[in-house]
Amino acid sequence: MAERQVERAPQTSGDDIWSKCPGCREIAFRKEVERNLNVCPKCGYHFRLTVSQRLSITVDRGSWHEMLEDLAVGDPLEFVDSKPYPLRIAQARAQNGRNDAVVVGLAKIEERPLALAVMDFEFMGGSMGVVVGEKLARLFDIATRKRLPTVIFSASGGARMQEGMLSLMQMAKVSAAIARLRDARLPYIAVLCDPTSGGVAASFAMLGDLNIAEPGALIAFAGRRVIEQTTNQQLPDDFQRAEFLLAHGMLDAIVPRHQMRFTLARLLAMLSRKRAAARTGNGRRPRK
C-alpha cells in the first residue's frame, strides 16, 4: 500500500523539441502535443500533467485561489533510509516549489465555484502523508461550510512510507471528512488520473459521488509486479487501466482530457440543484 515504484511515463516538459509517444511510438512535435493539452494528436495517449498544467486547463482564468500552501511536514518517524526524510522533503520542495504532494484551493469552472484539489505526482510520487491528509480533510470541511462542490484530481503511488502509520491513518481522516460533505448533500467528483494506486486509490479517490477517470490511467490497489509474482498469472495488457475498471463496473465514466472541463461544469450544474434544507435521513448510501 505504501508508495510504490510506478513506472515513469515520459513527461512532455523536457527541453526536447520532439517527444516520442508511448502510445503509438511515433515522434511528435512537442509544441503540437502541448497545444493539444498534452494528448498525442495521433493516438490520443494522455501524457501526465504537472499541477500547473492541470490547473491551467481546468479552472477559469484568474479564479484559482490556493489555500493551506504553507503547511509542511516535520519528521514524525525520524526516518532515515539512504538519506534523512527532512532532506528528501527539502529536495522535493526545491525541485517543484511546493511543500507537499497536493495543492488545494477554491476556483471556478465555467463560473461555477468549487473546492478543488490537484495531486502532484512529481512530489515524491504523489504520496500521501500527514500534510496531504490534513489539506484534503480541511478542504472538504471548508467546502461543507461554504456549501461548495468538491473535485479532486488524484495521482499518487499511495501512502507515504516515510511517515509510517500516520500516513496510513490519513486514508481514514479524509474519508471521515468526505462523510460530512456527503451528509450535507454536496457533490464530490473524483477524477482519477495516471497513476492512482495504493492507499489513495483505496480511500478518497474511490469515494466520489461520481468516480471518473482519464483514458488509460493506471488505477490499482496492488502493484502489477506483486500480483504477477504472487499469482504466476499472465495479466492482460489493460489490467488495472481505466478501461479495465470501467468494464468491471468500478468507474462511472472515462472522460478524455478535452472534454474534462466541460464535463465537470455540466455535472456540477446538474448536481447543484438547490434542495429544500429539509434533512432526509443521515445521508448514508444504502448498502443492503
Partner 1 sequence: MKGNLNGKRARVTAPSGERGAVSNGAPAPTAIERVRLARNPARPQALDYFDLLLRDYFEIHGDRRFGDDGAIVGGLAYFGGRAVAVVGQQRGHTTAERIKRNFGSPKPDGYRKAARIFELAERFGLPLLTFIDTQGADPGVGAEERGQIEAIAANLELMSRLTIPIVACVIGEGESGGAIALGVANRVLMQDNACYSVITPEGCAAILWRVANEENVARAASVLKLAAHDLLKLGVIDEIVPEPQGGAHTAPAESAHLLGAAIARNLDPLLKLRPAQLRRDRERKLAAMGAAFIRKTDVESPGPIE
Residues 56-85 binding partner 1 (CB under 8 A) are: 56, 59, 61-62, 64, 66, 69-77, 79-82
Closest C-alpha to 49, from 118, 147, 111: 118
Q: Which of 99, 77, 79, 81 is nearest to 89 (CA)?
A: 99
In this structure, are residues 33 and 12 in contact, taking their beta carbons and an 8 Å threshold?
yes
Point out which residues bind Zn ion (CB under 5 A). 21, 23-24, 40, 42-43, 45
253 binds, among partner 1, Zn ion, none (CB under 5 to 8 A by kind): none
Structure-derived torsion over alpha carbons of residues 38, 25, 220, 67, reported in degrees to the nearest 10: -20
Rg, C-alpha atoms of the chain = 19
Q: What's the min distance (Å) between Cβ of 133 and partner 1? A: 6
Tell me if residue 191 falls in helix, strand or coil: strand
**Residue 24's binding partner, choosing from partner 1, Zn ion, none, with beta-carbon cut-off 5 to 8 A by kind?**
Zn ion
Q: How many residues line the site for partner 1 (CB under 8 A)?
A: 90
Q: Cβ closer to partner 1: 231 or 280?
A: 231
Interface with partner 1 in residues 98-117 (CB under 8 A): 98-99, 103
Residue 239 interaction partner, one of partner 1, Zn ion, none, beta carbon < 5-8 Å per kind: partner 1
Phi-psi region of 180 (alpha: psi -120 to 50; beta: other; left: phi over 0): alpha
By CB under 8 A, residue 227 contacts partner 1: yes
What are the grid coordinates assigned to 259, written together?
472534454
Residues 131-160 that bind partner 1 (CB under 8 A): 131, 133-134, 137, 159-160
Tell me the β-bridge partners of 151.
116, 189
Of 38, 144, 156, 167, which one interacts with partner 1 (CB under 8 A)? 167
Q: Does 222 interact with partner 1 (rule: CB under 8 A)?
A: yes
Binding mask 34-53 for partner 1 (x = CB under 8 A): -----------------xxx
Angle in degrees, CA 212, 282, 280, rounded to 5: 100
- Nearer to partner 1 by Cβ, of 24 and 254: the residue is 254
CA quadruple 122, 123, 129, 130: dihedral sign: negative
The site map against partner 1 for 187-206 (x = CB under 8 A) is -----------xx-xxxxxx
Q: Is-contact 80 93, C-beta < 8 A?
A: no
Cβ atoms of 143 and 132 closer than 8 Å: no
Q: Is 226 in the site for partner 1 (CB under 8 A)?
A: yes
| Interaction partner, residue 230 (Zn ion, partner 1, none; CB < 5-8 Å by kind) | partner 1
Shortest distance (Å) from residue 53 CB to partner 1: 6
Query: How many other C-beta atoms lie within 10 A of the C-beta of residue 80?
Result: 13
Per partner kind, with CB cut-offs from 5 to 8 A, the member of partner 1, Zn ion, none near residue 272 is: none
Taking the least distance from each CB to partner 1, the nearer of 9 and 250 is 250
Torsion of CA 193, 197, 202, 207, to 10 degrees: 0
CB atoms within 10 A of CB 274: 5
Supply the minimum distance, in Å, between the C-beta of residue 242 and Zn ion.
17
* Least Å from the CB of residue 212 to partner 1: 14
